[in-house]
C-alpha cells in the first residue's frame, strides 16, 4: 500500500471554484467560504456571476466530475486540455471564471502554500500499515494484496476550523481539506486516520461488505449510513485509531454527526467485539448496527 501525497495549484483552483460556486456539496463549503471571505472580502456580483456560469457549464457537461478532475488534477496545462476537449463557448465560460477569480485564488493559495508543503513533508505517517491493511482485509472479508495498492492523496486548502477528506472512487484518490489545520503530534495522526477511513471506502468495503448490506437492507440511505458508520467505527475516531495511533477521542465525540454519542459508543463497541473475537463483518453485524441506529 503506497500513499502518494501530492498537491498542485490547479487541483486547488478547481476546489476553490467548486467550493465558492456551491458545486461541491460533499465537503464543507460554508465553513471554508466564510473563512476565505475574511481574507479577501465579499465576492463582487461580477465574481458571483462568473462562478454561477462556471458551475452551470460544469454540471451540464457529460461525465462532469471525472472530466474536470482529469483536467485539473492530472494535466500540467488544464486550459489546453479543456480547449481541445469541449466547445469553445463552454471553454470561454470556464476561462473567464479563472480570469475573474485568479487574483483572489492566488492570494489564498500563496498564503497557504507553505502550510500545504509542510503537511506534505509529514505525511504519510508510516506506522503499522501492513498490520492495519491485514486487519481491514480480514474485517471486510477481502483478499487484497498490500503491495499492489496505491492511493494518491491531494492536499487542499482548508479553513482553520475544519479538516475533511473525500474519496474519489474513479481515480482511486483522496482529497484532504487540510492546509490550515495546525500540526501537532495528534493532529498528524488524526489526518492519517482520515486517510485510512477513505482507503476503506476506496478499497475494502466494495467487494463484499457493501453488497451484503444491499442484500439485507432495502433503503438506499440506510445502506449508505451503515456503510459509513462501519468505517467510522474504525477510523478516524474508532477502534483502530485507538489501537494503532493511540487516539481515543472516540469516547468524547460522536463518530459521525448523524448519530448520537451513545449510538457511537455502541457501534464502536460492536466493532471492537468483532475485532477481539476475530470475526469479519457479517449479516449479524449489519442487523445489530441497524438496531443501534434505530434505537439510539
257-286 mask for Zn ion (x: CB under 5 A)?
------------------------------
- DSSP string across 15-79: HHHHHHHT---SS-HHHHHHHHHHHH-PPPHHHHHHHHHHHHHHHTSTTHHHHHHIIIII-S-HH
Nearest to 168 by CA among 15, 288, 61, 8: 15
Nearest distance, CB of residue 29 and Zn ion, angstroms: 18
Task: Enumerate residues 220-259 that contact Zn ion by CB under 5 A.
Answer: 228
Given the C-alpha cell 463552454, which residue does it identify? 90
How far apart, in whole angstroms, are the C-alpha atoms of residue 129 and residue 157? 26
Pick 164 or 228: Cβ nearer Zn ion: 228
Give 68 or 235: the residue with its C-beta nearer to Zn ion: 235
φ, ψ of residue 249 in degrees (nearest 5): -70, -5
CB of 231 to Zn ion, least distance (A): 5
Instruction: Between 189 and 201, name the residue whose CB sits nearer to Zn ion.
Output: 201
Binding mask 186-225 for Zn ion (x = CB under 5 A): ----------------------------------------
Quick one: 21 or 181, whose CB is closer to Zn ion?
Answer: 181
Q: Which is nearer to Zn ion, 53 or 199 (CB)?
A: 199
Q: How far apart are CA 206 and CA 257, in angstroms?
A: 23
> Cβ closer to Zn ion: 165 or 275?
165
* Shortest Å, Cβ 171 to Zn ion: 17
69/237 with CB nearer Zn ion: 237
Cα 180 from Cα 107, distance rounded (Å)? 14
- Residue nearest Zn ion (C-beta atom): 228
DSSP string spanning 89-104?
A: HHHHHHHHHHHHHHHH
**Count of residues near Zn ion by CB under 5 A:** 1
52 or 171: whose CB is closer to Zn ion?
171
Q: In what order do the strands lie in the sheet with 150-156?
A: 2-6, 150-156, 173-177, 164-168
Closest approach of Zn ion to the CB of residue 232, in Å: 7
CB of 214 to Zn ion, least distance (A): 17
**Got the DSSP string for 162-230?**
--EEEEETTTTEEEEE-TTS---HHHHHHHHHHHHHHHIIIIITTTTHHHHHHHH---HHHHHHHHHHH
CB of 234 to Zn ion, least distance (A): 11
The number of angstroms, rounded, from the C-alpha of 264 to the middle of its chain's C-alpha atoms is 20
Residue 1 DSSP code:
-
- Shortest reach from residue 53's CB to Zn ion, in Å: 32
* Beta carbon of residue 200, minimum distance to Zn ion (angstroms, whole number): 8
Give the footprint of Zn ion on this chain (CB under 5 A).
Answer: 228
Amino acid at each position: 500500500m503506497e500513499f502518494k501525497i501530492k498537491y498542485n495549484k490547479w487541483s486547488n483552483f478547481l476546489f476553490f471554484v467548486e467550493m465558492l460556486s456551491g458545486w461541491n456539496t460533499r465537503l464543507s463549503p460554508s465553513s471554508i467560504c466564510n473563512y476565505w471571505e475574511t481574507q479577501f472580502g465579499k465576492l463582487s456580483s461580477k465574481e458571483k456571476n462568473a462562478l454561477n456560469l462556471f458551475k452551470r457549464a460544469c454540471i451540464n457537461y457529460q461525465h462532469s466530475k471525472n472530466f474536470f478532475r482529469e483536467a485539473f488534477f492530472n494535466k500540467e496545462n488544464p486550459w489546453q486540455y479543456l480547449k481541445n476537449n469541449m466547445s469553445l463557448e463552454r471553454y470561454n465560460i470556464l476561462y473567464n471564471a479563472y480570469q475573474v477569480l485568479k487574483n483572489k485564488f492566488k492570494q489564498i493559495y500563496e498564503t497557504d502554500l507553505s502550510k500545504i508543503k509542510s503537511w506534505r513533508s509529514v505525511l504519510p505517517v508510516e506506522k503499522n500499515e501492513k498490520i492495519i491493511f491485514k486487519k481491514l482485509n480480514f474485517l471486510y472479508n477481502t483478499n487484497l494484496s498490500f503491495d499492489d495498492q496505491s492511493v494518491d492523496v491531494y492536499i487542499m486548502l482548508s479553513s482553520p476550523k475544519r479538516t475533511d477528506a473525500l474519496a474519489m472512487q474513479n481515480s482511486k484518490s483522496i482529497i484532504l481539506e487540510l492546509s490550515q489545520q495546525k500540526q501537532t503530534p495528534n493532529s498528524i495522526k488524526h489526518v492519517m486516520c482520515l486517510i485510512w477511513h477513505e482507503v476503506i471506502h476506496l478499497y475494502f468495503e466494495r467487494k463484499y461488505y457493501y453488497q451484503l448490506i444491499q442484500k439485507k437492507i432495502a433503503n438506499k440511505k440506510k445502506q449508505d449510513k451503515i456503510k459509513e458508520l462501519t468505517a467510522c467505527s474504525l477510523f478516524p475516531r474508532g477502534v483502530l485509531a485507538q489501537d494503532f495511533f493511540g487516539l481515543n477521542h472516540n469516547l468524547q465525540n460522536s463518530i459521525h454527526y448523524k448519530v448520537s454519542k451513545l449510538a457511537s459508543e455502541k457501534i464502536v463497541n460492536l466493532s471492537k467485539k468483532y475485532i477481539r473475537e476475530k470475526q469479519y463483518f457479517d449479516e449479524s453485524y449489519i442487523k445489530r448496527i441497524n438496531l443501534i441506529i434505530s434505537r439510539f
